[in-house]
Structure 1
Amino acid sequence: MLTRALIVVLAILNLGVACWWLLRDEPQKPAPAPQPAGVAALRWVPGGGDAAAAAEATAAAPTAPLMEREPAGKAAVAATPAPAPAVPAKPEAMLAAAPVAAVTQPAALPASTPASAPEKPATPPAAVEPPRCIALGPFADRAAATAAQGKAGNALGQVRLREQPAASGSARYRVMLPAAASREEAQATVKRIVAAGLSDYYIISQGEEANAVALGQYRNREGAERRIAAVQAAGFQPRLVASGDAGQWWLEGQLAAGSQPAQAQQRSGAAQSRSLECARLR
């Protein structure tokens, strides 16, 4: 029942709204404002060329009334034709002119690159100091030269001991076996020497070295030491006997980095120091 009543009410409302819409009066348009005397009315003219012509006509229209109202003294000034207003260009012309302006406009110059600073010359490597070699001495014998080598320590490298013969050349070095108790015992030692493959031997028959076996005589110590090494390899224990003027021993070697000849001489206790070519140590 309630639903039907609502439907009826809505139908009546809709009918009333429809009748009001059909019977209402048209709204009155406001009257246009009165146009001032001597002023042309503005008109909307579509199109670029017609708009320019309408603008020229509108600008020229009020010239005559204005001239009538001007005083007589200013008639000459008013009679001077006014400069024609600039006619706006058509959109198509503006678009066509834009690329030309873009082309004629000078391109921006790139920023100048600062000149790179000149490179500093590379520091030349420090010159390597050539090796220096010296000879320290003289020493009375090999044992004294060996002791001096130990005192010099690390001030010298590639050390070697060298014997310098006496100036007269009368020095001699003999390799000998100790004297035997009898002649027969000395002969038995000789047989053993022959059996070991050694030669150049003889038995001393008189003097303080009687019954001793001599295994050679040499003018320099190096030759005598080589003979001693060969005899020792055969199982014997020879000894070295020097005769005549004794030679001198020298300590030769290469100076360590940062060492001076005077320092090495002072540490070894040598009386003299001589420059030496390092090629002689090789």
Structure 2
Amino acid sequence: MLTRLLIVLLAILNVGVALWWMAPRAEPVAVVPPAEPGVASLEVLPSPAPGNVSPAAPAAAETPVAAAVDAAPLNAAPAAVAATEAKPTALPPAATAALETKTDQAKPAEIKPAETRPPAVVQCASLGPYATQAQAQAAMTALGADAARPRLREVPGKAASSYRVLIAPAASREEAQATAKRIVEAGFSDYFVVSQGEEANAVALGQYRNREGAERRLASLTAAGFPAKLATSGTEIAPSWWVDTATAGAATPASLKQRAAAAQQQSLDCARLR
């Protein structure tokens, strides 16, 4: 009995399910969330049929959306606010000037090439001659800072081939012989009276190969009161002193010559001053 009852119930359930599947159903309705106050709602326009779309249709479809975005208040939806913030905002003049100044300071400074001046022309010269070392030293001191690397240089002299001591020719031969007699009486020997030539009637008192010997003989005769003199045979050049220097600053060899009171100025290779 119980088994038949269960079979009848299962049959009724199967019939009910079949009738439910066969009954027509309504299309689901989309639930639109309520819009916030002050926010414009978007309407979906029906898409036109293919082939009937005109060129002006896209512009017409975009116009309500653009108007809705521009009209959105500050409390609008995030999409509307993002569209509003996308527009460029003009800065005040003071902020623009400050931004440009900061940008200029951030730029790397332009490196200007250093100005190169042409080196001063250095000239070298020898100034002199000076008879003594003391005179050359005084001239070098007078040059001061206008002279660079100054130094003293001695030029040896050139001796004559021979030196003679004599008394100048007399007016006559008798007068020359009288002078010779006085010389003998004073204790001097080695003399003779010149009889011809340019020195005729002169009294020769000795000939020497070096100057020192001739000067000693001359000194003794002069001390005895005889007007003797020294004569040379050949060319004799006395030793001299020179100041070798290079120019410094705006000085020139001519200006150095003037300051050193030199009689001559000779060119000099600057390599000799190193």
**Shorter-chain TM-score range:** 0.3 to 0.5
Per the normalisation by structure 2, the TM-score is 0.35
